[in-house]
Structures are given as structure tokens and as C-alpha cells.
Amino acid sequence: MSSAQSVRSSLRLWGASLGGLAVTFLLAVAAWWVSRQVGAVKLPFGIPGKALEYPLWAALLGVLGNVLLRALKMREYLQPGVHTELYLKIGLVLLGAGVDLTLIVSAARGAILQSLVMISGVFFFCWWLAGRFGLDEKLRAVMASAVSICGVSAAIAAAGSVLARKEQVTYITALVILVALPLMVLSPLLASALGLSQTVAGAWFGGNIDTTAAVVGAGTLYGEQAQKIATIVKSTQNTLIGLVAFLLALYFASREAGAGTRPGVRVIWDRFPKFVLGFLLASVLYSMGVIDGGKGTTIEALKNWAFTLAFVSMGLELSFSEFRSMGWRPVMVFLLVTLFNTFLALGVAWVVFTWLFPVG
């Protein structure tokens, strides 16, 4: 590539990144404005406007922005400026600045137990079912990791371990977001109908919904304590990505002839979600009274902005085009496993957080 071409390509990337960033921020401000307007009014059937909180509007406006950008043929161009995971991780660290360490400690045992049961149960169920449907082994590994651990991040980590094709990752990522968006809205409604406590509901969202952004969204819609517990449970699950990625790499390396060097345990640290350490540090500083991210503070407002940006980005990233290339058979498997995941997580969250390790 000549230097003039290289400069042109760099400028194009910068333009796309800034454009994507500007669109995300504009939609986030619009979502904030709409949620404030709706929050002040009473909706039909006596539903208070406040019930429709910002995650809903942010995701909805993200999807609308997605449709509009596609119509203008600009979505692909602006994609480099859309950063769901980054905004989400910033929001999670900021959330830590309002969570007392005692809550993390008291929820940790239950969160670890639930994560171990959920990951092993859902992973092997998905692996078995996908095998019955005759799916490719690498697609099975990526899907099982995504649905049992934490959606997009786990799909990417597993794909790196098993050397899956790029299309398989984008396909699973699209599926994860497509299923997570309705679950983010439906789960709090179901939890309310079932009369679940904030703790059990939060643990359920953390165990059931695949992608962390939607877990936080569902928790926010249900209540403050639910948001915190959902985040703790999901973060605990996230920390196990590294271990699963390592085991998958080991399994595929042993099966594939000439796979080269065996994977090292270093992959466990490489795949470890470091933002969890930031979340814990922020919580320690909050518990010591050094910082305050509690209700009504500037840090809480920053956290809400970060999450709004993440929800908007999630809507912007939604894509259907991958389904054409890979067909609808994996969709069936994914939906069936999600159904299994929903019921298993409800039972496990209820038993663990009501009977075994209740959180005060």
C-alpha cells in the first residue's frame, strides 16, 4: 500500500470512528431526554412512566438508529465507532463505586456456586443439543460458551481458543444480542409476576441473560438491589471465561493433528476480565469512604451515561445478515438452550439465594 493510500485509509477510519461516536452520543442524549419525559407522565392502565427506564429507550433508539443507518447505507462505515463492551465495562467499574464490599462478600458464595452450576449445566446441554442438530464442532464450542458464560465476550474468547471462523463469531454475536434484547425487557416483567425478591431476581438475570449489558439493563428495570446482585453474579460468571477458554483450547489441541504447541495456563489470565478488578477496587474505595458513587451522586450519573451508551451501541450492533449464510438450524438450538437456561437459572437462583446463601 502506498503512503497516500495508507493516509487515506487512516483518515477514513478516524472519520468512521468519530462519526460512530457522535451518532452513539446523540442517541444516548435522545434516550435520556425521552426517559425523562416519559418518567414524568402516567401511562395507560395506570403504569407509572418511571417503570420504563432508560435501558429500554436507549436500546430502542439504538435499534431505530441501526435501521436508519442501514437505509442510508452508513451502518457498516460507522461501525468502528460503536463500542458496546467498552462503555459497559466503564459503567461496571463506576457501579462498583456505589456497591458496599459487604454486599459483594455476602453475595460471593452464592454467586460462585450458581456460576459453577449454570456454566457446567448450560454448556454441556448446549454442546449435546447442538451435536444432535449436527452443528459444526467449533460452532458448538462458541455457542455453548456464549450461552453459558457471558455472550459476546465469551464467544470471542472461545473462538480464539478453538480457532473458529470469523463468520461463526459474528453469527453467534448477532444471535446473542437478538435474544438478549427481548429478555432484558421480559425478564423483569416475569420476575414481577412471579413476585421474586430483588436478590433472587438479580441472580436470575445474572444467570439467565447472556450478555452483560442486557443483564445490567434488566436489573436496572427491576430495582437498585437487583442491578447490584445481577452485576455481581454476572461478573463472577465472567471471571470463569479464562478457565473455559483454556479447557477448550486444550480439548481442541488434543483432537486436531498438528495443532502445534499445547496451550499454556497463561490463557486463563489473558482472558480474565480485568475490569472486574476495577469494579472491586472501586467498591473497596467506596466502602472506605474515599469515593462516593451512591444514589444522586455525579459518579452515579456518569455510570448511567456509560450504560446508556452501551445500550444504544447494543441496538446499533444488532444484525440479521449473518443468518442467511449459516441458516436457521443453529437459531433453533440457541433458542432451545436459552429456554433451558431460563428455567435452570430461575431454579438455581431461587434455591441458592433463598435457602443456601441468602443475602440480607
> Residues in the site for another protein, rule: CB under 8 A?
32, 54, 85-86, 89-90, 92-94, 97, 159-160, 163-166, 169, 273-275, 277-278, 282, 291-293, 297-302, 304-306
CB–CB of 282/91 below 8 Å? no
CB–CB of 238/153 below 8 Å? yes
Kindly state the smallest distance separating residue 306's Cβ from another protein, in Å: 8
CA angle 161, 166, 168 (to 5 degrees): 85
CB–CB of 274/235 below 8 Å? no
Kindly state the smallest distance separating residue 96's Cβ from another protein, in Å: 8
The closest of 345, 311, 339, 359 to 109, measured between CA atoms, is 359
Kindly state the smallest distance separating residue 55's Cβ from another protein, in Å: 13
Q: Which is nearer to another protein, 15 or 39 (CB)?
A: 39
Q: Which is nearer to another protein, 159 or 346 (CB)?
A: 159
CB–CB of 89/275 below 8 Å? yes
In this structure, which long-range contacts are made by residues 67-75, counting pairs with CB atoms below 8 Å and at least 24 apart in sequence?
69/23, 69/316, 74/19, 75/316
Q: Which is nearer to another protein, 169 or 349 (CB)?
A: 169
- Distance between CA 14 and CA 275 in Å, rounded? 26
Kindly state the smallest distance separating residue 301's Cβ from another protein, in Å: 4
Q: Which is nearer to another protein, 10 or 120 (CB)?
A: 10
Q: Which is nearer to another protein, 86 or 178 (CB)?
A: 86
CB–CB of 314/82 below 8 Å? no
Kindly state the smallest distance separating residue 124's Cβ from another protein, in Å: 24
Residue 140 has which C-alpha cell? 458448538
Kindly state the smallest distance separating residue 273's Cβ from another protein, in Å: 6
Kindly state the smallest distance separating residue 199's Cβ from another protein, in Å: 25
CA dihedral 313, 38, 302, 58 (to 10 degrees): 0
Residue 148 has which C-alpha cell? 453459558
Q: Which is nearer to another protein, 154 or 282 (CB)?
A: 282
Kindly state the smallest distance separating residue 323's Cβ from another protein, in Å: 20
- Distance between CA 233 and CA 99 in Å, rounded? 13
Residue 24 has which C-alpha cell? 452513539
Q: Which is nearer to another protein, 18 or 277 (CB)?
A: 277
What separation in angstroms does the CA of 88 have from each of 30, 64, 243, 267, 285?
19, 20, 22, 23, 20
Q: Which is nearer to another protein, 76 or 167 (CB)?
A: 167
